[in-house]
Structures are given as C-alpha cells and as structure tokens.
C-alpha cells in the first residue's frame, strides 16, 4: 500500500532518519568503546603465545623496539584505511561495507583480484595454523596428565596426529552449519577464551620471574653457539630466526581485514572516520601494552630458552590444573575461530560455483532434514557437504605434514602483513585523497610501503627456511611433542 497522507497510518510516523542510516540500513549504534572492544577481541588471540619466543630471538633491545614499530605501522595504516570507509566525501560519500568493497571502489580492476588471492590464501593458512595450535594444546593437556602420574620423571612424548584428526572431524561437522560466523554468542566466547588464556600466560610468567629471583635474557637475544634442543645455533640460524620472529609479531598484530567491517557498525554523527581513529588508537595502545607484557615477561621468565608456544611447549610445569584450563580455553577459542576465518572463503567458492553452474542441482539444491523434533530443519546442500569436507581434510593433512607452530605463524604473518596491512591501505588512501605523485606525502607513504615489503620478504624467508630445516629431521605423519 502506498501511503499518501499521514492519516493513512495507524500510528504516528517517525522520521526515517531515526530508524535508518543514509544507505537505508538500520541505524548503526556503535561507539568508540564498542569499536575498540571489537578490535581488541579480534587482535588478541593465539599469536600472543609465540611472542616470548619472538622476543628471545631479538633480545631486550630489539624485541620491545620491534613490537613498538609494528604497533606504530599498524596504527598509522589503520588510520589511512579508516579514511576509505566512504568513497568521496568522508561524511556523505558512499559507504564501503567490507575491505574488498573499499578496494573495489578505490583501486578496482586487477588489484581486487590480487587482494582476493592474498586474503583467501591467508585464510587457508590460518586454518592450518589453528589446527596445529589446537593439537599442541591438547597434547599439552595429555602431557601434564602423564607427568602427574609419573611424578615428572617420564618422557611423556605424545603423538599429535590423533588430535589433529579429531580437530578436523569437529570442523567437518561445524563447517556444515550455515552462517556459523553469525552466531551472536561466538564472539563473546572467543573474547572470554582469548583473554583468559592470555592472562593466565601473563600471570604464570610473572610468578616464574619471582620464583627465579632474576630477569633472564640478553640484550641481543639468542646467542650464536647456544645449545638448544634442536641443536647448536649457527650464525645463519640466528639471522633466519630473527627474520622469522618478525613474522610472528606481524601475525599477532594483524587485523586490517576486519577494520572496515567494524567501522560499518559505528553510528554517525560524529563522522565514522573520527570515531574509528580514536578506537584504533585505544585498541592498538591496549594491545601493545598487553603484548609487551606477555612477550617481555615470558622472555624474562625463560630467557633464551623461551618456548615457541608459551602455554603448551613445556615452558610452565605448574600448576597443572591452571595450565589445563588455559590450553582448553585455547582449543575452544580456535574451534570457533577456525570457522569464523573460513566462512568468507566458503562463501566465495560457493557463490562462484552457483554463478557458473546455476542449473546444477548438486550445487544449488538444498534439502530440509529434520534432525530434532521442534527445531528448524537442517538444510543439506551436497556441494557444501563435499567441498567443505575436502577443505577441512586438506588443512588437516597439511597440518600433519608440517606441524611447526612458529614457522607457520611466521609465514602467515609475512604473507598478510605487507599487502593487507600496508600496501592496499596506502594505495587506497593515495587514490581516495588524490595525493600527487612525487609529492612529499606520496614519497613518504611509498618509502613506508617499501620498507614493510622488505620486512615481509625477510619474515617469509626466515619462516620458509625454518620449515625446510624442520622437515629435514621430521618424518611425515609421525608428529611427537
């Protein structure tokens, strides 16, 4: 029915601006504090577990300085990215709802495809990293039980393959749930779990330093000639480990891919870009403080022998029950995080398949199956069942082939840092603001991008060398920790 007069309405009308934003979508209600909370929740995760090891490779001088530099670059490029939420005018321009929308609006063409490849490759790698991390935590729980029963005298080596397979089976089931990433309670659970195990790691680190009655570590980190469980550190290994640690730190800070999505929850006025810049400053400051504490206190507790995974690599031994709680929290967090990170990749493949083969019932047909009386029927799609199952099996097999936590995190950080955190935000900002080529600002932005490219290449090289080195002494599918 078309309403011509106010009298045609049964209730008093409200101004449409009270209910909807300028794009016709329901009024956004996000604030500086909700946006900050979203960012902090997204950033603080499994990457924090490797920071003590990363600081150990660089030392007391380089470690904190490197984390501060990464935080500065992350903050600065995030402020550039905030300016790209709207195309044209920063207050009234057309909204870009996702990172890819912003790239399409500001850069377009081939760069959209390049970004898509990097993004989905990073998501695929993250699924592998989460499979490895969850298995290591489950192994740690079994190891603590073994050490308790043996009085701490047994070797307690555990095969990780059954745990990776079990994690994969759980993900096969969860991956069939449509829109799993939109379940409202998932973010709450993830936030509680990530803060829980990070805080436990921080607390155990402090207690270890008190117990040692000294602050361990050196100014330059792991020294050449140091005998470690994996062998004597050579000059070449020192260099490659230093590079790899850059990737680990980069992975811990990465969140650019979701910044635009978070900005799309913020109300206006004031302008979304102003709110988001404040939220970015708050969240990066809080995250950096937390990371500095976790990385530095972990290094102070263990020195040059800081474990690759602070909670699950044999660093802390007591109290057993608290370590088990922390590792269980990691597993619960990663079960959900795996799905959240994989959903965009699932959606992309299924959308493309439906577009190319719209007549195929295998791809498009959904069958209602009543699993439980009184509940909505489960919608079974054969293509979704087959493709997502193959995806999970593939990530599980690769995890079993290369169960190297620090190496994989370093490679993921290297792959995602320069293109997603630096290059695309810089290029979009230059396009959005029409920054003249060879102007002072343009040159400074390009120098920043080039410097970060060098860092990413170094981090990737260090991680690849680490993987190749580990593969020389590792027997495929015989994972023991």
- pTM here is 0.82
Q: HSE on the CB side for 351, CA within 13 Å?
A: 6
pLDDT for 373 equals: 76
pLDDT for 392 equals: 93
Cis upstream peptide for 156 (omega within 30°): no
pLDDT for 264 equals: 84
Instruction: Give domain status of residue 13, yes or no.
Output: no
Nearest Cα neighbor of 444 from 429, 459, 460 is 429
Give the pLDDT means over successive 10-residue stretches in the chain (481 positions): 42 54 75 82 77 91 92 92 82 82 85 86 85 87 76 67 90 79 65 83 88 87 77 84 90 82 82 88 89 90 84 71 87 83 82 84 76 72 88 91 80 88 92 89 94 93 87 69 57
Nearest Cα neighbor of 320 from 189, 132, 156 is 156
Nearest Cα neighbor of 481 from 238, 220, 237, 142 is 142
Q: What are phi and psi of 466, to 5 degrees?
A: -60, -45
pLDDT for 450 equals: 95
The CATH number of the domain holding residue 142 is 1.20.1740.10
Quote the CA–CA distance of 176 and 435 in Å, as a whole number: 46
Instruction: Give domain status of residue 231, yes or no.
Output: yes
pLDDT for 154 equals: 59
Instruction: Give domain status of residue 445, yes or no.
Output: yes
Q: What total of structural domains would you count in the chain?
A: 1
* Ramachandran category for residue 12: left, alpha or beta (phi over 0 → left; psi -120 to 50 → alpha): beta
Q: HSE on the CB side for 250, CA within 13 Å?
A: 33
Instruction: Give domain status of residue 153, yes or no.
Output: yes
Instruction: Give domain status of residue 17, yes or no.
Output: no
pLDDT for 1 equals: 39
pLDDT for 23 equals: 66
- Domain residues for 156? 26-473
Instruction: Give domain status of residue 2, yes or no.
Output: no
Instruction: Give domain status of residue 6, yes or no.
Output: no
Instruction: Give domain status of residue 478, yes or no.
Output: no
């Amino acid at each position: 029915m078309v309403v011509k007069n106010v009298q045609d309405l049964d209730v008093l009308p409200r101004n449409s601006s009270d209910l909807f934003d300028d794009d016709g979508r329901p009024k956004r209600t996000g604030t500086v504090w909700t946006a900050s909370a979203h960012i902090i929740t997204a950033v603080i995760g499994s990457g924090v577990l490797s920071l003590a090891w990363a600081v150990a490779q660089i030392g007391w001088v380089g470690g904190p300085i490197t984390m501060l530099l990464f935080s500065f670059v992350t903050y600065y490029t995030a402020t550039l990215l905030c300016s790209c939420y709207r195309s044209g005018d920063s207050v009234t321009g057309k909204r870009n709802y996702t990172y890819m929308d912003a790239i399409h609006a500001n850069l377009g063409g081939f760069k959209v495809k390049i970004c898509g490849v990097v993004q989905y490759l990073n998501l695929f790698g993250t699924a592998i990293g989460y499979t490895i991390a969850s298995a290591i935590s489950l192994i740690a729980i079994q190891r603590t039980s073994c050490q308790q029963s043996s009085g701490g005298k047994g070797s307690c080596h555990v095969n990780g393959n059954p745990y990776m397979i079990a994690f994969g089976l759980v993900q096969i089931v969860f991956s069939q749930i449509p829109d799993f990433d939109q379940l409202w309670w998932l973010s709450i659970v993830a936030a509680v779990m990530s803060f829980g195990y990070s805080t436990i790691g921080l607390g155990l680190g402090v207690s270890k330093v008190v117990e040692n009655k000294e602050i361990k570590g050196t100014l330059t980190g792991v020294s050449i000639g140091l005998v470690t469980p994996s062998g004597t550190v050579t000059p070449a290994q020192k260099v490659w480990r230093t590079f790899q640690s850059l990737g680990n730190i980069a992975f811990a800070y990465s969140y650019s891919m979701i910044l635009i999505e978070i900005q799309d929850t913020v109300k206006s006025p004031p302008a979304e870009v102003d709110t988001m810049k404040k939220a970015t400053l708050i969240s990066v400051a809080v995250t950096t403080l937390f990371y500095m504490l976790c990385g530095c206190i972990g290094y102070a507790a263990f020195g040059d022998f800081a474990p690759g995974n602070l909670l699950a690599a044999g660093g802390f031994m007591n109290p057993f029950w608290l370590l088990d709680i922390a590792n269980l929290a990691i597993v619960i967090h990663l079960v959900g995080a795996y799905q959240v990170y994989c959903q965009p990749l699932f959606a992309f493949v299924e959308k493309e398949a439906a577009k190319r083969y719209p007549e195929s019932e295998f791809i498009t047909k959904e069958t209602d199956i009543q699993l439980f009386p009184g509940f909505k029927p489960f919608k079974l799609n054969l293509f979704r069942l087959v493709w997502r199952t193959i995806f999970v099996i593939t990530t599980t097999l690769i995890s079993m082939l290369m169960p190297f936590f620090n190496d994989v995190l370093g490679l993921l950080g290297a792959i995602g840092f320069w293109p997603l955190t630096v290059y695309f935000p810089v290029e979009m900002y230059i396009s959005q603001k029409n920054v003249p080529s060879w102007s002072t600002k343009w040159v400074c932005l390009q120098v920043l991008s080039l410097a970060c490219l060098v860092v990413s290449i170094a981090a990737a090289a260090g991680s690849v060398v680490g993987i190749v080195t580990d593969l020389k002494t590792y027997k495929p599918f015989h994972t023991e920790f």
